[in-house]
Chains A and B, each alone.
Chain A
Amino acid sequence: MTWQTVIGLEIHVQLSTKSKLFSGASTGFGAEPNTHVDLVDMGLPGVLPVPNKDAFLKAIRFGLATNAEINQVSSFDRKNYFYPDLPKGYQITQMAMPIVGKGSIKIFANGEEKIINITRAHLEEDAGKSVHDLFDGETGIDLNRAGTPLLEIVSEPEIANAKEAVAYFKAIRQIVTFLDICDGVMAEGSMRCDVNVSMKKVDDSELGTRAEIKNINSFKFIERAIAFEIDRQTKILESGGSVVQETRLYDSVKNETRSMRSKEEANDYRYFPEPDLLPVVISDKELEEIRLSLPELPEQKEKRYINEVKLEESEARIIASSKTMANMFEDACLKTDDSSLVARWLVGEVSALLNKDNIEIDESKLTSSNFAVLIERISDKTISGKIAKSVLEEIWESGNDVDAIINDKGLVQIQDESLLENIAKKIIEDNPAQVNAYKEGKDRLFGFFVGQVMKETQGKANPQSVNEILKKLLK
């Protein structure tokens, strides 16, 4: 029996507004519990919500970037359920008239490009946090997060496997960070996702019953949770059973998904239009202004890097895919002409250092001006590529200026041909056996001589010059 996996993702993106969706409390992360809470967030009797215009603008940017329908008239609904971190006993969300309608996004997975359609994206308020481990027999409620604006992005059930799911998640993350509508910091819960998994027989047109795995916030866990779930569901179906439609939680410690009994009973959310909020209308003029203010997106950047800056496709893709790297690239190129060298170093040495430290460029000590100077010094042969690597490592640690490092450490490349020739001649004189062996055909020994000259010059000799001189002398 061949079973086909059908996956849909609901991604909750925390919009990076300064204040909350319906109140003037701060959305800043990491504050002491219950200090970023307004009367409105507390759900006190008599309080009323007032929508944050910026949340709408950010949502619309997402819609435009995904070629989606923008509903210029959108409204709010109440979703009713009881939970201690939901102060009003209902969440204000958009059910009937979401701000963003159907759109699509391109993903790269399993070596292929695929379009995933997005059903809708709507605004809603986040709930607070329940803290279970700090107290014996009690749960603490922190409402700092309650009321933070979320954009819930719902994909069509068109994702076929875990790799595609991760690629889709990454693609969404890329867009929202490029658009500056979300900081994309997964560790802080800026993006969370619910994964819907169902299985069906390949030639069945109907979808199978789905299970929803809630609140996963890492790429790794998405993959693992899906893998477990596919396995679980396949086993059930193969043995003739049926999958229960339910909500499940992923346990990263045990690497399994578990049913969330408690949420099952209260499934009737009794949605109805929010009577405290009138519909929000975005004018044609405002929409146009937002459209014009959209920053260049990865796809556009990549095209421009290839066509205008003349970068290699693979380099262009890597640089364009990260906002911080693209910014570094573009800033550095303003300060030096050798854009292809900038690109090569970014993709090579700089990326290696970023991966080692697991940070983004804007968290490192490398500035675009310093980087540009480094590239210039390689270009004009002041230092060799190898030396430049150690200079880069020094900048990474200390943040010092390139020229200061070069001078302090006396790293200027030795270009003086006559000096190099003298050194080379001495090496040749001191190593007659190797000279003979080389002349008799052991070509590999050429490297030995190069190495000796480099050692003698503490690596500062211009490698090309060394090669040429040695070739001449060893003929």
Chain B
Amino acid sequence: MDKKTVRTIAHLSRLTFDEKNGEKITNDLNNIIKFVDQLNDAETSDIEPLTSPLEKVARTRPDNVTAENRKETFLKNAPSSNEDYILVPRVVE
């Protein structure tokens, strides 16, 4: 993983760090990736990936409206809001 890849991954994750930290992070990430490369030793052709330990199927719910209006609570919790909306800096599309 070179510095450029790290910057790309950092952007995808919306994270930033300064030059000094950038070096340590790149090192750490490379060590971790080297560590997990051991996985290549395993013979896994024809093995179905395991997403959840539960070998079950989903329960679904019936189509009923069960939620109540919690507008005030949600807007109160937001870092910036007015009586109707959560606010963020102007987004240009």
Are A and B in contact, CB atoms below 8 Å, in the complex? yes
Nearest chain B residue, comparing its CB with the CB of A28: B65
Nearest chain A residue, comparing its CB with the CB of B56: A278
Q: How many residues does chain A have at the interface if contact means C-beta atoms less than 8 Å apart?
A: 53
Contact residues of A: prevailing secondary structure? loop
Give Cα distance in the complex from A56 to B57, angstroms.
Answer: 14
Contact residues of B: prevailing secondary structure? loop
Give Cα distance in the complex from A23 to B60, angstroms.
Answer: 11
Q: How many residues does chain B have at the interface if contact means C-beta atoms less than 8 Å apart?
A: 35
**B88–A262 CB distance below 8 A:** no
**B70–A140 CB distance below 8 A:** no
Return the CB mask of A227-255 against B: 1 if under 8 Å, else 0. 00000000000000000000001000000
| Interface members, chain A 38-84 (any B CB < 8 Å) | 38-39, 42, 50-56, 73, 80, 82, 84
**A38–B67 CB distance below 8 A:** yes
- A212 near B: Cβ within 8 Å? no
- B92 near A: Cβ within 8 Å? yes
Nearest chain B residue, comparing its CB with the CB of A56: B60
- B18 near A: Cβ within 8 Å? no
| Interface members, chain B 6-54 (any A CB < 8 Å) | 11-12, 14, 49, 51-52, 54
Interface segment among A266-274, A372-380, A437-445: the answer is A266-274
Return the CB mask of A136-156 against B: 1 if under 8 Å, else 0. 011111110000000000000
| Interface members, chain B 51-85 (any A CB < 8 Å) | 51-52, 54, 56-67, 69-71, 74-75, 82, 84-85
19 pairs across A/B with beta carbons < 8 Å?
A24-B64, A24-B66, A34-B85, A35-B69, A36-B67, A37-B67, A37-B74, A38-B67, A39-B70, A52-B61, A84-B86, A84-B91, A131-B85, A139-B89, A142-B84, A143-B86, A249-B93, A273-B49, A278-B56
Identify the 7 closest CB pairs spanning chains A and B, nearest first: A140-B85, A24-B66, A54-B63, A38-B67, A53-B60, A25-B67, A278-B58
Q: Using a CB–CB distance below 8 Å, which chain B residues touch chain A?
A: 11-12, 14, 49, 51-52, 54, 56-67, 69-71, 74-75, 82, 84-93
